Amino acid sequence: MKICVKIIPALIAVLLLTMFSGCGYHNPNVYTGSDKVIYVPDWKNRTSKLNLDSDLYRKLTEWFQYSNSLSLTRDKAGADLILAGEIISIDLPSLAYNAANVAEEVKVKLRIRYILKDLQTNKILLEIPNQQWTEEYTVNSSSSTNETSEDEALDTIIDDICKRIYQRTIAMVSQL
């Protein structure tokens, strides 16, 4: 019984230290700084793929909803930052061919450029002049399946792009 009485205060002390000391982990997808409004004008879509720019904006909006302190707007008035960009090109080079010399696997390549700028100081916080994203998909005999596979590959690329833009924006805004 005497041992338990001596151990209990030590266990309480260890428990309190554990509760009040941080592990040092920081989630890169959360920004909790001061509120910032980011103006996102329509991105120029230089590809023949329709609605690629609106898909990108929709996905950006989804990513920025992870932060209560950052919000996107289509209105420049009252915005703190501008995130402008352009979808430069899309390419669908074939990768693998079967015995009949028909493509079996295709890689979607999407190139973009974008800039993040502080509207009050006119300072460029981030500039990516040419970035290429790729995703592979399998070609099937049905053309509708191939379009679906291509669209799924593009959805994956757009999600990856928007996640990266969101994380880079958080990193830059955290330094302001």
The tokens describing 11, both together, are 């266990």
| CB-CB contact of 154 with 110 (8 Å) | yes
pTM above 0.85, yes or no: no
Q: Residues of 73-101 as b/e, b for ≥16 C-beta within 10 angstroms?
A: eeeeeebbbbbebebbebeeeeeeeeeee
Residue 150 lies in a domain: yes
Report how many domains make up the chain. 1
Residue 22 lies in a domain: no
pLDDT digits 0-9 by tens, 47-93: 999 999 999 999 999 999 988 899 999 999 999 999 999 999 999 77
Q: Of 90, 112, 101, 117, which Cα lies nearest the Cα of 172?
A: 117
Residue 6 lies in a domain: no
Residue 8 lies in a domain: no
Residue 106 lies in a domain: yes
Residue 1 lies in a domain: no
Residue 24 lies in a domain: no
Domain extent, residue 111, equals 31-174
Residue predicted with more confidence, 19 or 148: 148
For residue 9, is pLDDT > 60? Answer: yes
Residue 3 lies in a domain: no
Q: What is the CATH number of the domain that holds 69?
A: 3.30.160.150
